[in-house]
Structure 1
Amino acid sequence: MNQHPAPQLTTPARTFTQLLPSTPRGARLARHLAVTTLHSWDAPPDLTERAELVVAELATNAVTHGRVPGRGFRLSLTYDDLLRIELTDPRGDRLPHHPPTPTPLPTGGRGLLLVSALCDHWETVAHPPGGKTVVGLLSVSAIAEQT
């Protein structure tokens, strides 16, 4: 009798998407929903903490710089081998860019430095008809894999 090895089942990617209002409350809710979702997916604490900071910054930027009256922003999370964070807002004319090293005087402009430090990769892509999506990729850290 031929015996074939059992097929390896891979865990399907887990996804979450939510449309939120472009308000400070919507930005706080995005952060809370991201953390709650990652906890429900049993994501490592280190990954959850980094994702919380990235979502908080991107959501704040969407509310501050990407707001169009009457239109919200969308938070999407996809988790398999990596965590993919997507934040889509309706303003495609104000694209974030990889920031230079800040000078000591400005009170703002450091958020994307934080995103750059916490993400393995991040980029901005067009979201037709006129919006943009900021995508951040986070891997599980070596510390989290050891626990």
Structure 2
Amino acid sequence: MKRKFTVKRKFTWKAASAVAGLTLVGSLTGAGGAVAASNAADTALASCVTETRNWGGNIQGQYGCTEYHLPNGAEQVFGIGTDGAIWTRWSRTNGTLSSWTSMGGQGRSTVSAEGRGWAITLKVRGTDGNWWYNNRGGTASGGWSGWHR
């Protein structure tokens, strides 16, 4: 019997503040240096909050974040960081959280995550106005295809 997994999306925003029009995303990147977002003053920043938890980080609040439930009970979230890139974080089965990891690309919409089981397709409108896709392989160790139209 195959189990069908559903994607749940809920958008809740908690305000964060910007200092002098620049926001450092070092807290979002986990490892690595901080990056200044030049348009932070124009963007309401928020923590990624879903119905299951507060994932932290600084995402562009107008786009929120999207949660995807994995077959092993873990969850993965996706959002647009203050640098415009698509970022992800996931829970592990032992309850700990990964660091925020950049998936690259540049988005100007909510990141849509749809799929079945381990196979996930992300969809986001790029800064060029086109829809861009990134596909995850259908196994627990599956990798991402990279952004393509």
Considering the TM-score relative to the shorter chain, is it more than 0.5? Answer: no
Q: Into which bin does the TM-score normalised by the smaller protein fall?
A: 0.3 to 0.5
Q: Greater share of strand residues, 1 or 2?
A: 2
Task: Determine which structure has greater relative contact order: mean sequence separation of CA pairs < 8 Å that are 6+ residues apart, divided by chain length.
Answer: 1
Structure (1 or 2) with the larger CA radius of gyration: 1
Q: Which structure features the higher share of helix residues? A: 1
